[in-house]
Structure 1
């Protein structure tokens, strides 16, 4: 297992306290269940989280199978990534726990982040996420990963379907009858005082990817906040209340609740802090409160590092990547771009010169995700934010996935039935042809009439069988080939010209 040589426990110490940061990041595009759709950007999310936590000086391990595009955009991640499988996970946890034990033996507080992007599901009231070769159930995640790290505090960030059920349960079965308020109960992770939770769904709904971000929507928003955009009070730290309010505000303008990412945030006992930005803020971009607008920070390859909409009077300090290439701040409203120079380390937006945007919009596509970050975020958003109370939630019916998984045998059966019907139809046609050829001038009128009735009957039967066989074959082909909610096209283009669509991260 490869680890970063850039940050040791001592090097990761915050200027405000003797605290070291560690991160275990997992991205899974193709889960262990054969009927799960293949995601496109879980590996990109993992690679970008690696870059983010390295900016904060964290010792970081990465488990993800990067595709060709992600390897080109993130060479450091490509050099370090291990396969997201059980053996590699166990090895990474062991190495990371040794790093944490070393830090704690030297009197340094250890804070660990466990980040997952990929597939999730729930079975018998118990949530799980997918590795490539098997499930990572809630008890396994609690005992073999989070608990095994031995950190003083652990922050769990998960973007996956049904992620809520990693920490909360309704018991086996998933009853359909209404249950009294408060029946949802904390299990494992939610019962650990030193564990904080930041989960992409506070109900049993799908997570989404968007090609304009080349990332999961929730992950893009969380990373944007952790770059500094969610630090509403300017103290150099992002609290659970700030990140939850930031994500909620980012999505508040989306009209359709189906496409509005939800967040469940619960800090560890005794600490509201999610991340300390101060180790990385020595190199930063400052946006004055008089410049409130919708901005996108991206690198020369078009990778979106952060996105935000600061309210009037809300100043921000954003992390900046190492000076390896150009970085651009794009003001969305007037399509203005500000090249950010590599030096000095502290750059103010006021000092930057505006240029025409490099990639012009190809037209307005008024769709769900284009409403993200249209509402400004500031201290008022945090002050007015309330953590939603726990409510009884319904896991999916135990047979729901099984019904869909049965599409393959049903599909093949339909194809076989279609072929059989077509075969019988062909026999009827050939039989009618033989009868017709057997009619001779010397045949009596009665016999000829009888044969003609038989020919009409066979032709009618053949036509019906051809129709039924074709319908059965078409239905079988659709069952076998139709993707299970993998991509839902929403419009023709995004604001930066990228094709637009969403995918459920099941």
Structure 2
């Protein structure tokens, strides 16, 4: 689809709302970054896959899409349309696409259409010098970039931020002494948007937490769960819309069985003040899979290329509908409990799973992380889960008391004190040498002149030695005091969060 044409067809989202409400045009700005601008951070494997799958999802939901991602060879084969449209996730391309998005939104507004934008990010996030950020390949994106360069630049009626990155909590909330929340430098603009009724937040962490990838999903865990819900699996009341409460309850329920909090996403959701809905499924449900809910089942939806599109686990008695992409060949729904599969072809438009005959199972994968993440979606989801879900205030983070051992503090300050004394001694000897030189040597005996010259040279050598010793002692002292201690991982660090797993970190 051409992005430069003024005659573009804006995708209209069908809103089952009040009759007088204007139809809306939806726009999705999607960014996936495997390689951070921070050079020492390990590359992610699946942020590009997440971006490509978000593009497919939002296009299915009727949104116009803009994609920044560098797809690897495997992702290009799996998602040829995304490969054809993707621009490099670099600052120049970011600016170009934001300009295009702003132009298209303004064009929709000129046609008297309501407008809603989605900013979707999968990649690296961290905090540096008290400032939170996510990254492109060549630049960190701070709160000013998001607030002024995107939200304020693109004047949509409503904006939704979906972020899967370590420490994504800091996109909206700061850390202060004693756990008092305050906006972080550079993200204060986004924090102020908490009072803007247009903006909703769906973040993969609610504190300084890691966000993970999993090779079984070939995607970020949080991103896969969000997409699963937005295909319709989170729509517990069956009204054709997914609310913030529904998606938050869906993600939390999906991970509730994981005992280790290290692997359990801690979603933070905050709806816009002028609405509770994250997406309207609209015409996407014209092609759907219906699960009648006669029994609880954990089901997995894959396409013919083996791309895992969604997981869902309905409770007994909970009926659900899941939108399905068309034109991608047959789809397969797998029953996780026994591996049996249902094949779904292009016709009919509405497929009732109970009317299909399952096929023989295929071999499942096993691995180290499999044991933890295989518990995802092991608990059934239903409307009661949503009814009992409460939006939680963000975690108040207590700053670490100290990341430097006591012996290092003593040694460090001693070295700093020695540095001060040495530098002071150097200054004193330098001034003494100048005093001797300024005393004048005219009329003095040759022996006295030689004695004074030797004195000056001796003072100069001593001052040089003292300056050098002070510099070394100062460097050693500062190194002992400032180098991170053993518990430094409890605080935000530079780069892609604190996750260090090659397959596990969605930084």
Change over 3 Å in CA distance of 1:486–1:124 after alignment to 2: closer
The answer on 1:287 being equivalent to 2:291 is: yes
Change over 3 Å in CA distance of 1:142–1:484 after alignment to 2: closer
Change over 3 Å in CA distance of 1:339–1:134 after alignment to 2: same
Q: Which residue does the alignment assign to 1:94?
A: 99
Q: 2-side partners of 1:270 and 1:37: how far apart?
A: 40
Change over 3 Å in CA distance of 1:345–1:391 after alignment to 2: same
Q: 2-side partners of 1:166 and 1:398: how far apart?
A: 25
Q: 2-side partners of 1:201 and 1:364: how far apart?
A: 23
Q: How far off its partner does 1:389 sit?
A: 1.7
Change over 3 Å in CA distance of 1:271–1:395 after alignment to 2: farther
Change over 3 Å in CA distance of 1:356–1:184 after alignment to 2: same
Q: How far off its partner does 1:397 sit?
A: 10
Q: 1-side partners of 2:8 and 2:247: how far apart?
A: 27
Q: 1-side partners of 2:367 and 2:195: how far apart?
A: 49
Q: Which residue does the alignment assign to 2:218?
A: 214
Q: Which residue does the alignment assign to 2:150?
A: 145
Change over 3 Å in CA distance of 1:484–1:217 after alignment to 2: closer
Q: 1:26 aligns with which of 19, 25, 31?
A: 31
Report Cα offsets for 1:294-323 as digits up to 9, x if no partner: 000000111111101000111111111113
Report Cα offsets for 1:108-155 as digits up to 9, x if no partner: 110110000000011233310000011000121111012211110000
Q: Which residue does the alignment assign to 2:450?
A: none
Q: 1:127 aligns with which of 125, 129, 132?
A: 132
Q: Which residue does the alignment assign to 1:170?
A: 175
Q: 1-side partners of 2:272 and 2:218: how far apart?
A: 31
Q: 1:317 aligns with which of 316, 321, 328?
A: 321
Contact 1:23 1:60 in 2 (8 A): yes
* Long gaps (5+) in structure 2: 17-21, 405-495
TM-score w.r.t. the length of structure 1 is 0.75
Q: Which residue does the alignment assign to 2:3?
A: 3
Equivalent residues in 2 for 1:359-438, closer than 5 Å? 359-360=363-364, 367-394=371-398
Q: Which residue does the alignment assign to 1:434?
A: none
Report Cα offsets for 1:169-220 as digits up to 9, x if no partner: 236xxx5xx345x667872443332110000000101110000000000000
Q: Which residue does the alignment assign to 1:504?
A: 505
* Long gaps (5+) in structure 1: 401-482, 489-500
Q: Which residue does the alignment assign to 1:42?
A: 47
Change over 3 Å in CA distance of 1:64–1:340 after alignment to 2: same
Change over 3 Å in CA distance of 1:189–1:31 after alignment to 2: farther
Q: Which residue does the alignment assign to 1:266?
A: 270
Residue range with higher mean Cα deviation, 278-287 or 230-239:
278-287
Change over 3 Å in CA distance of 1:251–1:484 after alignment to 2: closer
Change over 3 Å in CA distance of 1:390–1:397 after alignment to 2: same
Q: 1:237 aligns with which of 217, 227, 241?
A: 241
Report Cα offsets for 1:239-291 as digits up to 9, x if no partner: 00000000000000001011101100001112000000012111111111114
Q: 2-side partners of 1:36 and 1:303: how far apart?
A: 27
Q: 1-side partners of 2:141 and 2:321: how far apart?
A: 37
Q: How far off its partner does 1:4 sit?
A: 9.8
Contact 1:20 1:108 in 2 (8 A): yes
Contact 1:9 1:99 in 2 (8 A): no
Contact 2:211 2:499 in 1 (8 A): no
Q: Which residue does the alignment assign to 1:109?
A: 114
Q: 1-side partners of 2:368 and 2:505: how far apart?
A: 24
Contact 1:37 1:485 in 2 (8 A): no
The answer on 1:223 being equivalent to 2:223 is: no
Q: 1-side partners of 2:272 and 2:51: how far apart?
A: 23
Change over 3 Å in CA distance of 1:21–1:356 after alignment to 2: same
Q: 1-side partners of 2:366 and 2:391: how far apart?
A: 39
Q: Which residue does the alignment assign to 2:483?
A: none
Change over 3 Å in CA distance of 1:4–1:362 after alignment to 2: farther
Change over 3 Å in CA distance of 1:399–1:224 after alignment to 2: same
Number of aligned positions between the proteins: 405
Change over 3 Å in CA distance of 1:398–1:49 after alignment to 2: farther
Change over 3 Å in CA distance of 1:231–1:4 after alignment to 2: farther
Q: 1:252 aligns with which of 236, 256, 261?
A: 256
Q: 1-side partners of 2:352 and 2:318: how far apart?
A: 14
Report Cα offsets for 1:350-380 as digits up to 9, x if no partner: 2211101233456998721111000000001
| Secondary structure of 1:325's aligned partner | coil
Contact 2:258 2:264 in 1 (8 A): yes
TM-score w.r.t. the length of structure 2 is 0.75
Cα root mean square deviation, aligned: 2.6
Contact 1:126 1:166 in 2 (8 A): no
Q: 2:347 aligns with which of 329, 339, 343?
A: 343
Q: 1:155 aligns with which of 152, 156, 160?
A: 160
Q: 2-side partners of 1:4 and 1:232: how far apart?
A: 39
Q: 1-side partners of 2:252 and 2:497: how far apart?
A: 28
Change over 3 Å in CA distance of 1:360–1:41 after alignment to 2: closer
Q: 2-side partners of 1:285 and 1:361: how far apart?
A: 26
